[in-house]
């Protein structure tokens, strides 16, 4: 049997599709813009947005040594990659086996996990986890204990021998509001709740925020008391956040091959199985996307009635760049990404933190 080593791709036209491509200049711009506003430990980049230790290492080069994770797999992967200076699992975990595996890397990494109930405190203690944050519900109907319950949970965790480093709260319901003045008022009100909890709990960490309101946090941290922001999407970006006028560029796209063309539409090989779709349809420059199906995206090639789109007819076999509406689930579907500059392919990086 002969083994063929794939020819190294030089241009995006050589890539097998669907292919995740990340524009290095846009990425570098985003990392620099963020680290200027939130330098060093003021940003705890969320790695769930890219799931790549190589990209986390780039974020560290920009001065951020503390990271946020959403899964035990991400935590352990980061620790094993030597990126474990200070890792926060901003999520609740009850699985004893996974918690034990996480506790086992505490010899090489600083591990802290979020807890929001008796059961999560007890599971962390049983596994031998040494550091926790009390996760406080500050308005998003998801995880986080009721604000009045924080002191009791902190007490329970300390009684079981764990260090309570402080609090976290994720105001995910406030991330996208085109009325940025309202977003600021709402964020500050949520931080009032978190700060009250922080004073009950003690410790020195108050962790919150994301890409959509990172600047509110940067501007007001002296009064809110927030010590670190958990933004993740800013590195690669998606169309969900593009309406806010943030200073981040679109670094991520999925390259597809046009596999079929028709009078009024064309079809490329990037569908639901290679795109996170929960924030809506992806976009293609100059074309209106009609819909996605499992393996396909169908987009218009006729001029729109308002003539705002040029809609050139692409040739079968040509490449299109598709911009996802939601970066995180998109990245989780792919095994590697290609770093590019324009159409030139520079490097291939594994998306090595996938799974749970
Ligand atoms: C706990 C937590 N913190 C922070 C974020 C911020 O992410 P983003 O940069 O996408 O706003 C998220 C995203 O969903 C999250 O779940």
Chain segment 224-283, per-residue pLDDT in tens: 999 999 999 999 999 999 989 999 999 999 999 999 999 999 999 999 999 999 999 999
What's the pLDDT score for residue 296?
A: 98
Ligand 1, atom 14, lies closest to the CA of 172
**What number does the ligand 1 atom closest to the CA of 328 have?**
10
Instruction: Give 310 or 58, the one with higher predicted confidence.
Output: 58
Q: Cα(77)–Cα(311) distance, rounded to whole angstroms?
A: 43
DSSP of 216-246: HHHHHHHHH---EE---GGGT--TTSGGG--
**CA dist 301 to 62, 67, 263, 282, 324, Å?**
42, 43, 7, 16, 19
The pLDDT confidence band at residue 311, using thresholds 50, 70 and 90, is: low
Ligand 1 close to Cβ of residue 212 (< 6 A): yes
Give the residues across from 113 on adjacent strands: 89, 132
pLDDT score for 302: 75
Q: What average pLDDT does the chain have?
A: 95
Bond preceding residue 18 cis, omega within 30 of 0:
yes
33 φ, ψ (degrees, to nearest 5): -65, -40
Q: Which residue CA neighbors atom 2 of ligand 1 most closely?
A: 170
Would the CB of 45 count as within 6 Å of ligand 1?
no
Ligand 1 centroid to Cα of residue 216, in Å, is 15
SS3 328: helix
Residue nearest to ligand 1 atom 10, measured at CA: 233
For residue 91, the ligand 1 atom closest to its alpha carbon is 1
What are the respective helix, strand and coil percentages of the chain, to the nearest 5? 35, 25, 40
For residue 349, give the 3-state DSSP assignment: strand
Residue 303 pLDDT: 67
**For residue 49, what are the contacts with CB-CB under 8 A and spacing of at least 6?**
232, 233, 235, 236, 327, 328, 331
The pLDDT of residue 135 is 98
For tokens 């999407």, the residue is: 233
**Is the pLDDT at 111 greater than 80, yes or no?**
yes
Work out the pLDDT band at 7, boundaries 50, 70, 90: low
- Minimal-distance CA residue to ligand 1 atom 15: 170
Burial of 354 (0-12, 13-18, 19+ CB in 10 A): middle
- pLDDT at residue 310 greater than cutoff 80: no
Per-residue pLDDT of 196-216, as tens digits, reads 999 999 999 999 999 999 999
* CA 255 – ligand 1 centroid, Å: 25
CB of 177 closer than 6 A to ligand 1?
no
Using DSSP, state whether 41 is helix, strand or coil.
helix
pLDDT confidence of residue 305: 61
219 pLDDT above the threshold of 70: yes
Task: Tell me what the mean pLDDT of segment 161-175 comes to.
Answer: 98
Rounded to the nearest angstrom, the distance between the alpha carbon of 90 and the centre of ligand 1 is 9
pLDDT in tens, 43-77: 999 999 999 999 999 999 999 999 999 999 999 99
Please compute Rg for the chain using Cα positions.
22
Q: For residue 6, what pLDDT is reported?
A: 55
pLDDT of 4 higher than 60: no
Q: Which ligand 1 atom minimizes the distance to the CA of 327?
A: 10
The answer to whether the CB of 251 falls within 8 A of the CB of 26 is yes
| Residue 350 CB–ligand 1 contact under 6 Å | no
Q: How far is the CA of 47 from the centre of ligand 1 (A)?
A: 9
3-state secondary structure of 197: helix
Q: Residue 1 has what pLDDT?
A: 43
Host H or E run for residue 192: helix 180-201
Residues 112/165, Cβ–Cβ less than 8 Å? yes
CA 232 to centroid of ligand 1, rounded, Å: 6
Taking the centre of ligand 1 as the mean of its atom positions, its distance from the CA of residue 88, in whole angstroms, is 13
Residue 207: CB within 6 Å of ligand 1? no
CB 137 within 8 A of CB 146: yes
Ligand 1 midpoint to CA 231 (Å): 6
pLDDT, tens only, 189-200? 999 999 999 999
- Residue ranges and CATH numbers for the domains of the chain are 12-17+246-350 (2.40.37.20), 25-235 (3.20.20.10)
Residue 5: pLDDT above 70? no
What integer pLDDT is reported at residue 8 of this predicted model? 63
Name the one residue in this structure whose structure tokens are 């790695």.
47
Nearest Cα to 49, choosing from 37, 36, 39, 58? Answer: 58
Q: What is the pLDDT of residue 304?
A: 62
For ligand 1, is residue 210 a contact (CB within 6 Å)?
yes
Reference 165, options 128, 193, 202; nearest CA is 202
What is the per-residue pLDDT across 12-36, written as a single tens digit (0 to 9) for each?
999 999 999 999 999 999 999 999 9
Largest CA distance in the chain: 70
């Amino acid at each position: 049997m002969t083994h063929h080593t794939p020819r190294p791709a030089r241009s995006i036209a050589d890539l097998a599709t669907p292919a995740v491509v990340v524009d290095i200049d846009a990425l570098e711009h985003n990392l620099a813009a963020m680290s200027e506003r939130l330098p060093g430990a003021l940003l705890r980049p969320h790695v769930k947005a890219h799931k790549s230790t190589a990209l986390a290492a780039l974020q560290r080069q920009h001065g951020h040594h503390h990271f946020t994770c959403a899964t035990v797999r991400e935590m352990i992967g980061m620790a094993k990659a030597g990126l474990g200076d200070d890792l926060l699992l901003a999520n609740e975990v009850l699985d004893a086996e996974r918690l034990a595996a996480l506790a086992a890397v505490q010899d090489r990494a600083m591990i802290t996990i979020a807890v929001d109930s008796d059961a999560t405190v007890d599971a962390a203690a049983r596994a031998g986890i040494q550091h926790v944050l009390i996760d406080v519900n500050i308005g998003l109907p998801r995880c986080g204990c009721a604000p009045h319950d924080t002191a009791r949970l902190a007490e329970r965790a300390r009684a079981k021998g764990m260090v309570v480093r402080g609090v976290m709260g994720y105001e995910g319901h406030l991330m996208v509001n085109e009325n940025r003045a309202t977003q600021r008022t709402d964020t500050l009100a949520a931080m009032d709740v978190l700060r009250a909890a922080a004073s009950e709990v003690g410790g020195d960490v108050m962790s919150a925020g994301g890409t959509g309101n990172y600047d509110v946090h940067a501007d007001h941290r002296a009064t809110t008391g927030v010590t670190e922001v958990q933004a993740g999407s800013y590195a690669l970006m998606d169309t969900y956040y593009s309406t806010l006028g943030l200073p981040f560029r679109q670094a991520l796209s999925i390259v597809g091959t046009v596999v079929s063309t028709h009078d009024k539409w064309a079809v490329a090989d990037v569908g639901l199985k290679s795109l996170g779709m929960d924030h809506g349809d992806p976009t293609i420059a100059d074309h209106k996307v009609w819909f996605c199906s499992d393996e396909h995206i169908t987009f218009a090639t006729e001029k729109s009635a308002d003539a705002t789109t040029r809609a050139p007819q692409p040739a079968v076999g040509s490449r299109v760049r598709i911009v996802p509406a939601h970066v995180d689930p998109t990245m989780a579907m792919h095994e590697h990404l290609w770093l590019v500059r324009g159409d030139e392919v520079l490097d291939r990086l594994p998306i090595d933190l996938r799974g749970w």
